[in-house]
């Protein structure tokens, strides 16, 4: 067994101090990944710094057609929030399809984004919506934030505090679940934005979440299911594993993209 010190700071500065004082300190938000890896003895942090009680770390606001979501906001809160439903219903629908009720009431949007699991749902939404990740020290565009499997632009001891999302003209998310885990075997988030069409894919890429340039070009010219259907989806760079081959995932990207556009 190993010992772990638990901290529940009231401010970001207190949280940063606790992180800096521990040899192997980790931020704890919903704990849906971290606690599981600790139970399996795959992680042994010296300190757990629980950020959920910090004022302003949860909740949703909207101003000038921009949603701001606190990093400690749970999936369930995102799914049911009236402002999210009104201004970006696709994000609420995505959040309502994560895991099961227990996961949705404990897991947080910031924790999911920071973890950047290659089959997680939120990273696709962040890329497609052109979100900005706000930390205790800076703002990072989603395009620069996600950098590979379980890898992000976060520096050591940097904490996500909020996510800022421009409300899209249209958006939708379509996911083909891996039935045991409910993670995305393939998930496609489409958004019609001021920057044109943006399409992000999760669950399929060898390097994690990615934007699909060909689908974006087709949908920028013609936002329609038929336009998406004409795009040839290559299997190059896609994962093959026990659940699906790269070719199968390529086919699913096309199918999920069409479904998402039709639902938008």
- Range with lowest mean pLDDT among 33-42, 63-72, 193-202, 236-245: 33-42
Q: What is the pLDDT of residue 39?
A: 87
Distance CA 112, CA 133 (A): 12
| Section 245-264 average pLDDT | 97
Q: What is the pLDDT of residue 50?
A: 92
pLDDT tens readout for residues 52-80: 889 999 999 999 999 999 999 999 999 99
- Tell me the pLDDT band of 32, cut-offs 50, 70 and 90: confident
Q: What is the pLDDT of residue 245?
A: 96
Q: What is the pLDDT of residue 66?
A: 97
Contact 165, 41 (CB under 8 A): no
Using the predicted structure, report yes or no on whether residue 84 has a pLDDT greater than 70.
Answer: yes
Q: What is the pLDDT of residue 181?
A: 80
pLDDT tens readout for residues 88-105: 999 999 999 998 899 999
pLDDT tens readout for residues 120-161: 999 999 999 999 999 999 999 999 999 999 999 999 889 999
Mean pLDDT of the chain: 94
Structural domains in the chain, CATH included, are 5-49 (3.30.43.10), 60-166 (3.30.465.10), 170-263 (3.30.390.50)
pLDDT tens readout for residues 164-186: 999 999 999 999 998 888 889 99
Measured N-to-C along each axis, helices 89-96 and 122-129 cross at an angle, to the nearest 10 degrees, of 170
Q: What is the pLDDT of residue 41?
A: 85
- Tell me the pLDDT band of 46, cut-offs 50, 70 and 90: confident
**Percent of all residues in the chain with a pLDDT value above 70, rounded to a whole number:** 100
SS3 track for the chain = CCCCEEECCCCHHHHHHHHHHCCCEEEECCCCCHHHHHHCCCCCCCEEEECCCCCCCCCEEEECCEEEEECCCEHHHHHHCHHHHHHCHHHHHHHHCCCCHHHHCCCEHHHHHHHCCCCCCHHHHHHHHCCEEEECCCEEEHHHHEEECCEECCCCCCCEEEEEEECCCEEEEEEEECCCCCCEEEEEEEEEECCEEEEEEECCECCCCEECHHHHHHHHHCCCHHHHHCCCCCCCCECCCCCCCHHHHHHHHHHHHHHHHHHC
């Amino acid at each position: 067994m190993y010992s772990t010190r638990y901290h529940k700071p009231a401010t970001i500065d207190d949280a940063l101090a606790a992180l800096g004082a521990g040899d192997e300190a980790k931020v704890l938000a919903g704990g849906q990944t971290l606690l599981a890896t600790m139970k399996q003895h795959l992680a042994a942090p010296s300190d757990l710094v629980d950020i959920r009680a910090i004022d302003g770390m949860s909740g949703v606001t909207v101003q000038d057609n921009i949603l701001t979501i606190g990093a400690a906001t749970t999936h369930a809160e995102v799914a049911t929030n009236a402002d999210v439903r009104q201004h970006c219903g696709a994000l609420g629908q995505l959040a309502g399809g994560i895991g099961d009720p227990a996961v949705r009431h404990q897991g947080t949007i910031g924790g999911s984004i920071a973890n950047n699991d290659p089959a997680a749902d939120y990273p696709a939404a962040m890329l497609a919506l052109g979100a900005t990740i706000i930390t205790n020290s800076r703002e990072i565009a989603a395009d620069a934030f996600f950098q590979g499997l379980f890898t992000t632009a976060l520096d050591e001891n940097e904490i996500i505090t909020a996510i800022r999302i421009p409300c899209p003209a249209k958006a939708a998310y379509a996911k083909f679940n891996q039935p045991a885990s409910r993670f995305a075997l393939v998930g496609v988030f489409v958004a019609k934005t001021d920057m044109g069409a943006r399409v992000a894919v999760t669950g399929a890429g060898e390097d994690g979440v990615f934007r699909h340039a060909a689908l974006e070009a087709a949908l920028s010219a013609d936002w329609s299911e038929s336009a998406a259907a004409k795009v040839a989806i290559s299997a190059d760079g896609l994962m093959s594993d026990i659940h699906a081959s790269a070719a199968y995932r390529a086919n699913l990207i096309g199918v999920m993209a069409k479904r998402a556009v039709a639902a938008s």
